[in-house]
Structure formats: structure tokens, C-alpha cells
A = this chain, B = another copy of it.
Amino acid sequence: MTSPFSRPGAAPFTERTPRVVAARKLTRRAERDKTGRFLAEGANAVEAALAHAWDGGGTVHELFVTERAAAQHENLLAVAEEAGVPVSPITDRAAGGLSETVTPQGIVAVCALIDRPLETVVAAGARLVVVLVDVADPGNAGTVIRVADAAGADAVVLAGDSVDPHNGKCVRAAAGSLFHPAIARVRDVPAALGACASAGLRTLAAHGYAETELDRIDLTPPTAWVFGNEAHGLPAEILGATDLAVRIPLYGRAESLNLATAAAVCVYATAMAARQPNG
């Protein structure tokens, strides 16, 4: 395809161009919720967004690229063109304004929000779901979404006061996986747990002080793992509303694991157990 930089008269958009100004506002959650749009930055995320849209799962409204990123990612621009997604050249400074990370990637898609209603996301037939309750750090949320995707989870539910999965740092940490498992956002945590139960999933709460250790339970049944806030864990009433609280055994002297590594251990142990030939 023709690079947007080689078209005659196509001066790149600057940080003052109205479409860039509008896109930049999407770094704020309120604006994302109002417009139903968010920014997917970086080649991984853009590639996943385009593939997701191609599969009919979402919409990519437009794509911004710097000259350097356009040269690096010609294949992505070709995919965008084939899909009828407008591609606009931007300056490096404009790309910086669209980035929530220290190193702007120079390629950013404006996408339709990817979350869906809880009842369509957690449905009968699901075998592995991850529920995040009051998770505050977008990098953690994105890393857990990536782990959930790798483990073949059907869905990730961001419940309670959890961070918005469309946050730029979450998108970055998810490395494209944001578009893979079904994603729901729901304030009402008991409703999220109820949906899991209705879908036939056992709810397991990851809890550092639980009596039951991870390596002592049968991990083959369909399971929803529930993880709490990085500092405070799960509220007592949520713990009480799950089927079982489980702790990762600590064999050394560490007092805990961080959220993302704890989720990796629990979710992968479950995914691997469910697939064991004699499991």
C-alpha cells in the first residue's frame, strides 16, 4: 500500500489537529465512557484490534502512525487499508500526547470499547474465568489479562472499583490480549460471583490466609478465580461469598506473591490440570 507519508500534500497531523485533540482526550476514563472509544497503542495492540474487528468482534475507527512507525509496520497499514480503516500520519509529538507510557510506540488505533455485558461474557459452557475485584494498578490488570488469555480463559471480569481495562497502561501490559478473552466491567461484585455460579463455575478466592493450599485441591472442574486489591486483598464479605478460599503455598520466607505472579500460578495450575490426559 501507499504509506500515508508518501501521499502528496498529506502533512502529518500535529498535537493541535482537532482529530488528534479528540483522540488525546481518550486518555481520560470519563471521555472513554462518554464516547465509547479508547486508544490501543503499540503494534501488538493494533494488530490484535484489527484482527478482532476483522472477526466482527469490534470496531477500529481510525489509526494514527508516525513516519517511523509507518515504515516499521507496513503490514499493519495494509491490513488497516483492506479493512477500510482510515490511516492518518501524525508527528512524533502528537504520538507522545496519545501515549500513556514513557516510550510512545508511534502507532495508535482509536477503537470501540471492548467490554460487554456480564451475562454475555460469563455464560454456560465457560471453563475458566478470572474475576478481579478492586484491582487498582492498570499494569497488573493488563498482565493478568495476558496471563488469562495465555491460559485459555474464557473471560476476565473487572469488578468493584477495578481499574478500567481500556487504560493505556493496561492495554500496553496486556500486549494484544485485551482483545482475546471476553471482558466485562461490573461494579456489583456479588453479581459477578452470581453470574459465575449460574454459569456452573466453582468460585475460588485467592487469599493469603486461606486454610486450603492450591496443590491440595482438584483443579479440573470449571473454575472462576477471584483476586483482590494489591494492598488489601479481598473484602471479607466477598471471601464469604465464594465457594472456597485458597492460598498459594509459600515454601520459602516470602510473605506473599504480587498479584500478577499469584494470578499466573493459580490460573495456569488450573488450565494445565484441566488438560491433563488423566485429569
Contact = CB atoms under 8 A, between A and B. Distances in A.
A223 to B, nearest CB: 14
Interface string A235-259: 0000000000000111111111110
Nearest to A279: B215
Given A150-B251, A251-B275, A253-B180, A261 B258 contact: no
This chain's copy number in the assembly = 2
Contact of A275 (B146, B215, B263, B269): B215
Nearest to A144: B261
B254 A150 contact: yes
Interface in A257-279: 257-258, 260-265, 268-269, 271-272, 275-276
Contacts of A269: 268-269, 272
A268 B254 contact: no
Given A180-B252, A252-B153, A264-B265, A147 B272 contact: no
Nearest to A263: B261
Most interface-central of A148, A252, A256 (chain B CB within 10 A): A252
6 contacts: A44-B255, A149-B253, A150-B256, A176-B255, A249-B271, A265-B265
Interface of A: 44, 143, 146-153, 175-177, 180-181, 214-215, 248-258, 260-265, 268-269, 271-272, 275-276
